[in-house]
Structure 1
């Protein structure tokens, strides 16, 4: 099955990989974003500030999408602000597409902060693992909950089906994305190699030792298209992770080998990247020049703070895929390969040496 897809956030890690999947499957794809430069020419570019309802309506007008995929978010200083801005962004989009009258399904990408809590209350509660979609909401403000309620109300109003997708840490191709651990680690390794520093695990003892998982962005794309076109998956919230589990103490040396650096594990205290990489902006231009890389600022490529948040957790974090399996989704990815595939592409595109 294919249709007319509207991908909101088409230049991000979720939206970009989704658009590639849709195009490969023969869909017509429109992509809404702020900066449509370098989009695949097969994607119809739409430009609008999602906070401006009139601008969104003007951009969407006449596209008549059958399937809408909302894959973007905006970070603000407090969760109350996050709830306000991310709620309005989704509401504006759904008001605009609702007026088209063509939408059959809307998919919303959120994440495991549904179970862990927002940044300012992060991991204050200890939900049981593996995380299951049946677990109740936490007693904290959370823009994921606001977005879900807006989605449910719009579905009742306009008669479309919906799906909510909850990936863990995303690994995949995207540049300038605030949540891409894979690119961040590749850039970190390049700086370590240039300065002769060890590839020091930045996170907590708990993350070093505990079982965890991640999500390949290509698998998330498969999951989104499957849920949008499979009737038994309609109106479900669905976790999506690779399907394997690992411990960082075993994976870290393997990633170091793939990146050509010397690994150093947890040594009693976290070693946050924001502290280790305080001089990265001075070092990176030298690496770019030495290896004839694309001239992209290090602060665009690497997201030290987000990788620190992922690897600095002090609670166990892994996810149950039972609901999707019971509904017929059997996709899996090997996590080490998720990372190494990305590293190879980053080298091929001259992003890292």
Structure 2
């Protein structure tokens, strides 16, 4: 999320699969760099459609950010690209455009009979909060914030259904591994209005979990995840062991018979777990966000400098939970479980020191300037 973006030396799932003979495409949100040297085409995607920054107007595809904020602002900038060429589709709802382009690519691949990897990062329900009237009408009984959030999610549901139906129509479903997940909990960020004013919105809910987006409590980081592969994965499973999005890459590589150890990547393959029911080896999973650090190991989760919302003050310096018996992380067990708290605190601090050291060694002297939501 820097102006210069993801270094070319960093492997992506697209570069890995392209090496194995897969065709690769992206349709949706990139948000891994604005510069030419960090765009999707440089990172293994042969065909691309979408935008580069953190958010766009869903109809004009213009990036609005920085109005009425301290520091440098960003003038409205059009941000819609196809294969690195700027294109204009004014008035077309972006969620529907994403699905349309994805389906076009699937049809092309079906004709070619070549294996393919398609990455479809929807930006909804990210702000700005826009939804077609037909979806708003489905939730007419809700307050506006909840109504538009539900409408945007419903539009994504329909878009995914269209993609799924196309795979079925083309007889590709049986041997296609599909993975669905999200990137964070509900947002309470400030939204921009065209007059420059801002206010926080509460359209989403974490369903009783603690925190929102930007929090390392489970309300900020616990996400849905679905894996679908009729040829290999038995249907109807519910997985209750700890997993993370970093597990997707090694799982996909395992599925196509590629040794993931040739790459310096995090995560572990979930394939034998979801296919054969094998237990996952217990491990520590870590997160960091600004001053926050968190670790989960087994049923225990520790959060350092935990905050609940974007730019919020820390609500607690050290918080230990048994998330199996207390999924809302409402009870702090630091005093009653001091040995576990001390063990996890050391794990979290050592892990964070390691990534800080790596950043300083690899990027501190480079031109990687942090840019919030694509601002330059």
Q: TM (normalized to structure 1)?
A: 0.36
Asked which structure has the greater RCO (Cα within 8 Å, sep 6+), the reply is 1
Q: TM (normalized to structure 2)?
A: 0.34
**Structure with greater helix percent:** 1
